[in-house]
Structure 1
Amino acid sequence: MSRTTRATQALTRLGIAFTVHSYAYDPDAASIGLQAAEALGEDPSRVLKTLMAELDGRPVCVVLPSHREVSMKKLAAAFGGKSAAMMKPADAERLTGYHVGGISPFGQKKQVPTAIELAALDEPLVYINAGQRGLQLRLDPKDAQRALGAIAAAIVA
């Protein structure tokens, strides 16, 4: 497994400090994010998942703790929109250039508006997918927010 991805390259270009961590990815896990947290020996609040959604028909990226679910109503409100819905997996893969289970908010083919769960910013360090199944980046969540130009909002259900 390569430890260099578009995500790591994007963060390196921005001068963001991070470390790369691999784990045994289980494609049959009920929750990919929770399986990653368990494999890394981390609390699920520090292992963030990346979801792709559509807000009023436009793509958005959502980063939140792996044990939480996004509230579509709160997500829409955070961006000043009317309605939000999860993006179909095939559409998310096409838009980001990553495979489901390995979608990173960094280095996507097309950068889209991004929201990060406000509570995640309270953690000293978090894990975010590095753009490959079984590969995570560990970094300061405030650096992640800055790198993504993400809004911080209470978006969990």
Structure 2
Amino acid sequence: MTPAINVLKKAKTDHNVHQYHHDPDSASYGEEAVEKMGQNPHQVFKTLLVKLDGRQLAVAVVPVADKLDLKAMASACGAKKAAMAEQQEAERSTGYIFGGISPLGQKKRLPTVVNSSVESFDTVFVSAGRRGLEIELAPADLVKLTSARLAVIAK
């Protein structure tokens, strides 16, 4: 059980948990999840933390196949600029370890933006809060449970 899975159970949200053997030598956690689960890299989403205008942390959820567009993320959050958050800061704020950060069940609720391509799928995959563990759920549930806004933030 992880905080992310607990959020889904508490909200009585339909979901499936997928587990795979995590390779500690893997260079990309998202690509590893896609490969090991045999899923579409546009349907598996990674959770990234950014710092807005050097102060406020925010969560970006984008497909593994894409890169985060920092300018678009800043714009979606009403900020002038966004930069990737430091690993230690991301872990401290979310309560999750790098490579296993889930958009669900974070210690501190942060502004969240999900790439609008999420609406193209019946279900999507996000980290369940541990490396080697993914949650499959409906995009609308992901957006609702994270109080996210949708925007084009991937390129």
| TM-score of the aligned structures, taking structure 2 as reference length | 0.96
Distance 1:97 1:29 in 2: 22
Aligned residues: 154
Displaced runs of 4 or more, over 3 A: none
Equivalent residues in 2 for 1:74-113, closer than 5 Å: 74-113=72-111
Distance 2:70 2:99 in 1: 21
Equivalent residues in 2 for 1:6-155, closer than 5 Å: 6-56=3-53, 57-155=55-153
CA drift at 1:117: 0.4
CA drift at 1:15: 2.0
Distance 1:40 1:142 in 2: 22
State the AA in 2 paired with 1:45: H
State the AA in 1 paired with 2:49: M
Unaligned runs of 5+ in 2: none
Unaligned runs of 5+ in 1: none
| TM-score of the aligned structures, taking structure 1 as reference length | 0.95
CA contact (8 A) 2:116 2:152 kept: yes
Distance 1:131 1:32 in 2: 12
Aligned-pair identity in percent equals 40
